[in-house]
Amino acid sequence: MDGIKRQFVFILLLISTAVSIHAQNSPPHRIARGVWFLTGDTNGYSNTVVIEMRDYLIVVDANYPGRAKQLLGIVKQLSPKQVRYVFDTHAHGDHAYGNSVWTAAGATTLAFQGVTDEMNRWEPTRWRNALAKRPDMQATGETDVQRPQMSIAGDRLTLNDGTREVDFLFLGWGHTPGDGYVWLPAERILATGDAAVNGPRNKLLDANIANWPKALEKAIALNPLHVLPGHGDAGGIEILQGQRQFLIDLYAAVKAQADAGKKPAEMHIQLPAPDNLWFPANRAAMRQQDIETVYLEIVSHAPAGSLPHEWR
Ligand SMILES: [Zn+2]
């Protein structure tokens, strides 16, 4: 092998090593004492938050079954305490399809009532459609998503065991009608599920796109120091601001062209450049599906997610 070839192979090796380390081993990121953030990275997995209470652990988002099984092992390395509660931020499969893995391990699953309502509306059709592509779902032997065992009525549930306060908040219909946030007021940590993501594309199909920024304004008003999104890396309040601005800009751009008589296929959407590094992928790669979804909401005068639609 000549020198240049050898260098090339070495670089390839470096790249493949970097990729596999990123894909398999993003270590839990300790956000504060007893609060860890784990990025999903692969297989469509969502992010996970682990919160240590005096006598037990809370896990935010059940994830897909395959990731839930991995997490049972990972969580043991973080703390010897049992997982008592697993909170589904919303009904999407990458956040909730692992419910039965957690309950089999002794945890109680909980979510806002809107999450169960969404599951009752869309399942088991979505489960069935995802099954063919997901060996981890096939391994459960189940034919439907297990519903959360506890439903939170109203818009708030507070757990406070003297060592820590955890607030489960419903701030309005954004990404889905059941969106739950998890707020640690003392540490000013906010877990958002997909109400805010950091980088990856956010699906709008079940959303109330006009109302979503208003829900995010309530989240911004909490003034979090740490924002733990449903996908992508942890950050600060700029994740909420960026997600909000993106939705406002997208809605306004589609509305302007709809008002001018254009149909989605004729629309060319160029969103303003973000004033920070947030969301570059999403802004650059405007998907036709997102434009169509916003258009549908505008011309129907109803939340996009309330209209008949298929998950795709
Ligand atoms: Zn989602």
Cα separation of 2 and 250, whole Å? Answer: 52
At residue 105, does pLDDT exceed 50?
A: yes
CA of 216 to the centre of ligand 1 (A): 15
Asked if residues 209 and 298 have their Cβ atoms less than 8 Å apart, the reply is no
Q: How many A from CA of 181 to the centre of ligand 1?
A: 13
43 contact partners, CB below 8 Å, separation of at least 6 = 64, 66, 67, 136
| pLDDT tops 90 at residue 2 | no
Residue 271 burial by CB count (10 A; 0-12/13-18/19+): exposed, middle or buried? middle
Which residues does 268 contact at the CB level (< 8 Å), separation at least 6?
257
Q: What is the pLDDT of residues 34-67, one digit of tens each?
A: 999 999 978 999 999 999 999 999 999 999 999 9
Instruction: Give the predicted TM-score (pTM) of the model.
Output: 0.90
Mean per-residue pLDDT for 218-241? 96
242: phi then psi, degrees, rounded to nearest 5: -70, -45
Å from CA of 278 to ligand 1 middle: 19
User: Which amino acid, residue 311?
Assistant: W
Work out the pLDDT band at 75, boundaries 50, 70, 90. Answer: very high
d(CA 244, CA 195): 9
pLDDT for 189 beyond 80 = yes
Work out the number of other CB atoms within 10 angstroms of the CB of residue 293: 24
Compute the distance between CA of residue 112 and CA of residue 36 in angstroms, rounded to an integer. 23
Question: pLDDT exceeding 70 applies to what percent of the chain?
Answer: 88
Looking at per-residue pLDDT, the higher value among 310 and 164 belongs to: 164
pLDDT of residue 237: 95
pLDDT tens digit sequence for 249-294: 999 999 999 999 999 999 988 777 665 545 545 555 567 889 999 9
Contact 89, 195 (CB under 8 A): yes
Q: How far is the CA of 310 from the centre of ligand 1 (A)?
A: 14
| Ligand 1 geometric centre to CA of 96 (Å) | 10
Q: What is the DSSP letter of 220?
A: H
pLDDT digits (tens, 9 = 90+) for 116-137: 999 999 999 999 999 999 999 9
Strand ranges inside 139-229, DSSP E: 150-152, 156-160, 165-169, 181-184, 189-193, 226-229
pLDDT of residue 272: 73
User: How remote is the CA of residue 163 from the centroid of ligand 1, in Å?
Assistant: 31
Considering only residues 18 and 65, tell me which one the structure prediction assigns the higher pLDDT.
65
pLDDT of residue 201: 72
pLDDT, tens digit, for every residue of 20-31?
334 445 789 999
Using a pLDDT cut of 90, give the percent of the chain over it: 79
> 10 CA distance to ligand 1 centroid (A)?
39
Mean pLDDT across the stretch 139-166? 97
Q: Is the pLDDT of residue 199 over 90?
A: no
Half-sphere exposure of 28 (CA within 13 A, CB side): 22
The confidence score (pLDDT) of residue 286 equals 60
Residue type, 24: Q
Ligand 1 centroid vs 17 CA: distance in angstroms? 30
Beta strands 57-60; 83-87: pairing state: parallel
Averaged confidence pLDDT in the chain = 89
Taking each helix axis as running N to C, give the angle between helix 212-221 and helix 238-259, from 0 to 180 degrees, rounded to the nearest 10. Answer: 160
CA distances from 186 to 26, 52, 167, 207, 218 (A): 27, 14, 11, 30, 18
**Ligand 1 centroid, distance to 5 Cα (angstroms):** 45
Total count of residues recorded for the chain: 312
**How far, in Å, from the CA of 158 to the mean position of ligand 1?**
24
Query: Measured in angstroms, how far is the CA atom of residue 250 from the centroid of ligand 1?
Result: 18
